[in-house]
């Protein structure tokens, strides 16, 4: 099963292209590492695959869902239920404990323990 598909994906910020014509297929069971120098587009690629940003052009399909037709609400739901993203910065909620920060997605999915 194809989990992530990128075909000729482009992304720019303020008119400067960070990603140009990226092609990638990630199948179930694959282990993928993204390496490159600072500023090469690694974080941008993760943001696109994590449905946190939209590509300027090209095809991006995540878990069988075309990113172009997903609403923000649908993308948020997909992230909550199906995707796990570990950002460069932890983005912890300061007034929560470490355990509460970790279990917050479970609470949002109404898993109580």
* Alpha carbons 83 and 94: distance in angstroms, whole number: 23
Could you tell me the pTM of the whole model?
A: 0.83
- Say whether domain 2-85 belongs to CATH 3.40.50.300: yes
Q: Residue 34: what pLDDT?
A: 92
What are the backbone dihedrals phi and psi of residue 92, each rounded to the nearest 5 degrees, phi first? -75, 150
**Which residue pairs, CB below 8 angstroms and at least 24 apart, start in 12-19?**
12/56, 18/44, 19/44, 19/45, 19/48, 19/55
pLDDT tens digits for the chain (113 residues)? 999 999 999 999 999 999 999 999 999 999 999 999 999 999 999 999 999 999 999 999 999 999 999 999 999 999 989 998 877 777 889 999 999 998 988 888 888 76
Q: Residue 2: what pLDDT?
A: 96
Place of tokens 């609403």: 71
Please state the domain extents for the chain: 2-85
* Alpha carbons 10 and 7: distance in angstroms, whole number: 9
Q: Report the first-to-last Cα separation within the chain, whole angstroms.
A: 32
* Alpha carbons 76 and 52: distance in angstroms, whole number: 8
* Alpha carbons 85 and 70: distance in angstroms, whole number: 18
């Amino acid at each position: 099963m194809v989990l992530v598909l990128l075909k000729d994906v482009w992304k720019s910020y303020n008119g400067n292209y960070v990603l140009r014509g990226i092609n990638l297929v990630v199948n179930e069971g694959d282990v993928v590492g993204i390496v490159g120098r600072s500023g090469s587009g690694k974080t941008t690629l993760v943001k696109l695959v994590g449905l946190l940003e939209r590509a300027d052009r090209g095809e991006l399909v995540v878990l069988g869902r075309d990113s172009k037709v997903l609403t923000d609400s649908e993308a948020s739901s997909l992230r909550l239920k199906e995707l796990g993203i570990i950002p460069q910065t932890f983005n912890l909620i300061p007034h929560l404990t470490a355990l509460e920060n970790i279990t917050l997605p479970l609470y949002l999915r109404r898993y109580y323990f």
